[in-house]
Amino acid sequence: MAVMPEEEDSSSYFVREIEKTDGSVLKMYQCSKGDVGCVVWDAAIVLSKYLETEQFSHSQAGPSAWSCKRMVELGAGTGVVGIMAASLGANVTVTDLEDLQPLLELNIRKNQDLISTGSVTAKVLKWGDDVADFLPHPDYILMADCIYYEQSVEPLVETLKLLSGPETCIFCCYEERTVGVNPEVERRFFELLLQDFESEEIPAEKQDPEFNSPDIHMLCLRRRPS
Ligand SMILES: C[S@@+](CC[C@H](N)C(=O)[O-])C[C@H]1O[C@@H](n2cnc3c(N)ncnc32)[C@H](O)[C@@H]1O
């Protein structure tokens, strides 16, 4: 089922506004009906707001260095994280399954006026599939709330391995869930991931002072030297 809200039909979607530090506002269209990718998840807000912090720009991109950075967002859903990064000047590809492409394209269109020096494009990337279209290795891979179901654990780790080079930094933001299969899915994901990646947790005091939460974790992952 393709997810495409009719822009004229306001019952098909509802808008979530995310205020940037400079006072401008991202308007993210979310679908009233659809799968998990149709709405903005809290981890995506935490990661988006982290990208705006001085801590991020000084320690990672360097002041004013956004324009040379290439980023790929995995499981982008509405695309909020990638669109925030593009509005800060990065060149971003937001990716998700085929069904989410219309929603990603709608949100890119609706926020185009906030993107000047950067750029953002939507593309299909199913985890585990070929990543040739996304090479050379991006400077950053962004992922918010992508660790949530069993069957996707192995293909997701495979995509991270294929897509990341020695210099790539992966920002993985996820909400820790304590019910059902979630703890086991997380355990399995990190068991596989940490065979090839080093992980550093970004503490709350280095995140946005308002948009952080004890149950939302943000990790910076890098490939272990071979
Ligand atoms: C919980 S949503 C998070 C969406 C968005 N990152 C956010 O935090 O608002 C998980 C996303 O992963 C995508 N996804 C799930 N399985 C996938 C797969 N095998 N390949 C690519 N994307 C996938 C879904 O379509 C969905 O958009």
Domains of the chain are: 13-223 (3.40.50.150)
Question: What's the CA-to-centroid distance between 37 and ligand 1, angstroms?
Answer: 5
Q: 224 or 179, which is more confident?
A: 224
**Amino acid letter at 172?**
C
For residue 43, list its beta bridge partners: none
Cα(67) to ligand 1 centroid in Å equals 26
Q: Which atom of ligand 1 is nearest to the CA of 76?
A: 6
Identify whether the C-beta of residue 79 lies closer than 8 Å to the C-beta of residue 121: no
Ligand 1 contacts (CB < 6 A) are 36-37, 40-41, 43-44, 75-78, 96-97, 100, 126-127, 144-146, 148, 152, 155
The reported pTM is 0.94
Name the phi and psi angles at 68, rounded to 5.
-95, 5
Which residues share a beta bridge with 121? Answer: 93
Percent of all residues in the chain with a pLDDT value above 90, rounded to a whole number: 79
Listed residue (143, 173, 174, 145) closest to 160, CA to CA: 143
Q: For residue 47, give the ligand 1 atom closest to its CA.
A: 8
pLDDT in tens, 141-181: 999 999 988 899 999 999 999 999 999 999 999 999 988 88
Q: Which of 39, 81, 131, 146 to mutate to test the pocket of ligand 1 (most atoms within 8 A of CB)?
A: 146
pLDDT value, residue 10: 67
The Cα–Cα gap between 205 and 218 comes to 12
- 152 alpha carbon to ligand 1 midpoint, in Å? 10
Which residues, 6 or more positions from 127, have their beta carbon under 8 angstroms from its beta carbon? 74, 75, 152, 155, 156, 158, 159
Distance CA 81, CA 220 (A): 15
What are the pLDDT digits (tens) for 178-213? 888 899 999 999 999 999 999 999 999 999 999 999
> Which three-class secondary structure state does DSSP give residue 170?
strand
Read off the DSSP letter of residue 67: G
Contact 182, 137 (CB under 8 A): no
**What does DSSP say about strands 91-96 and 119-124: parallel, antiparallel, or unpaired?**
parallel
Record the tokens describing residue 75, joined without a space: 């499981």
> Per residue in 75-112, pLDDT tens?
999 999 999 999 999 999 999 999 999 999 999 999 99
What whole-number distance in Å separates Cα of residue 95 and Cα of residue 159?
Answer: 12
> What is the distance in A from the centroid of ligand 1 to the CA of 128?
13
Q: How far is CA 205 from the centre of its chain?
A: 21
Which residue's alpha carbon is nearest to atom 15 within ligand 1?
Answer: 75
Measure 147 CA to ligand 1 centroid, in angstroms: 9
CA 160 → CA 1, 48, 124, 143, distances in Å? Answer: 27, 20, 15, 10
**Residue whose CA lies nearest to ligand 1 atom number 2:** 37
- Closest residue by Cα to atom 20, ligand 1, is 126
Q: What's the distance, Cα to Cα, between the start and end of the chain in Å?
A: 42
* Burial call 1-19: b when 16+ CB within 10 Å, e when fewer: eebbbeeeeeebbeeeebe
Q: How far is the CA of 137 from the centre of ligand 1 (A)?
A: 21
